[in-house]
Amino acid sequence: MIPPPPSSLSTSNTAQLSQQQHPDPTVLMQYQAVPANMRDDRSRVMSTSAPYPQNSQQRQQLQQQQQQQQQQQQQQQRQPSDLFSGNGEMEAYGCGVVGCFATFSASNGLFYHMKSAHPNAEDIFKPYRCAMPNCPKRYKNINGLQYHLREAKGSSGHGNLAAESGTTNVKPYQCQAPGCKKAYRTANGLRYHQEHVHQQQKQQQQQQQQQQQQQQQQQQQQQQQQQQHHQQFIEAAALQRQQMMQQGPPQLLHLQQQQAMNHAHAQQQAMNHAQAQAQVHAQVMSQPHPAQSTQPQQQYSLSREKWQMNNNI
């Protein structure tokens, strides 16, 4: 094989040197568009990695992979407190576009963000990312991220943080009250639950305790009154017994006998008086009245005398 002439070798070498000295202008534009803090990392990766591919599609894929790695590193360095928004909502839906670190608490927020800020998201490699700490998961569409956050459990997802029905977003705020299993998406929801549920329960318990205390006080007062009445009865009975003992047993018996005799004598007198009245009344009723007995005889004698005078007898 005949070697090429030196002139041809020199021209090919100069062409290669010129290509190395003057890279593709599109690469320079993309390099300049990247922030300075990320540019150094990319230069280190490009210097240690394989030779930079010349195909534009391969270059784009490599750039996206490198940027995604950097974004994952920044996401892993993100503090757990940064995961929550100002109103206390957990922002688990993240934008995976390079250089965009937007996060949202609901899937519709990320969906509208993609439509407005990244209309060419379909051409980007897995632009929907999970914003949970230390989670590198990315998806091609919003449905995959929703399933990852809501349904999938274990190492493949965060479904254990969702509600029991699985239809709502992540609910990290759990009520710590004994026996309460409620969880909420926001701190305000948990605060409202504690104020309006557990506070009412506490108030009801306090009212019940007050009622019980009042009932106990009333029972104690009744018992004290009963004890006082019982003590007074005992004292009165003891005083009466003492008086009876002072009078002596024979005098007591004589007094009781005398009272019984007086009562019987009074009853006998009342009966005798009633019988005497009845006898007098019977006698009066049996005898005729004297005016009634003489009046007919006088009238008869007067009429006979008048007849004799009229007849000249």
List Cα–Cα distances, 171 to 19, 46, 156, 275, 299, in angstroms: 56, 42, 18, 108, 135
Q: What is the pLDDT of residues 292-309, one digit of tens each?
A: 444 555 555 566 666 666
Contact criterion met (CB below 8 Å) for 94 and 131: yes
Instruction: Report the alpha-carbon distance of residue 184 to residue 162 in Å, rounded.
Output: 9
Enumerate long-range contacts of 245-252, CB under 8 Å, 24 or more apart: none
Instruction: Report the alpha-carbon distance of residue 88 to residue 268 in Å, rounded.
Output: 106
Instruction: Report the alpha-carbon distance of residue 45 to residue 50 in Å, rounded.
Output: 9
Match 């030196």 to its residue by tokens: 6
- Residue 274 CB burial class (10 angstroms; 0-12, 13-18, ≥19): exposed
The single-letter code of the amino acid at 310 is N
Positions in the chain short of pLDDT 50: 1-2, 6-50, 79-81, 162-168, 291-294
Does this model's pTM top 0.85? My answer is no
Q: What is the pLDDT of residues 60-77, one digit of tens each?
A: 777 777 766 665 665 555
- Dihedral through CA 220, CA 221, CA 222, CA 227, nearest 10? 90
Contact criterion met (CB below 8 Å) for 131 and 147: no
Instruction: Report the alpha-carbon distance of residue 199 to residue 176 in Å, rounded.
Output: 14
Determine the angle formed by the axes of helices 25-33 and 56-76, rounding to 10 degrees.
Answer: 10
Instruction: Report the alpha-carbon distance of residue 64 to residue 115 in Å, rounded.
Output: 20
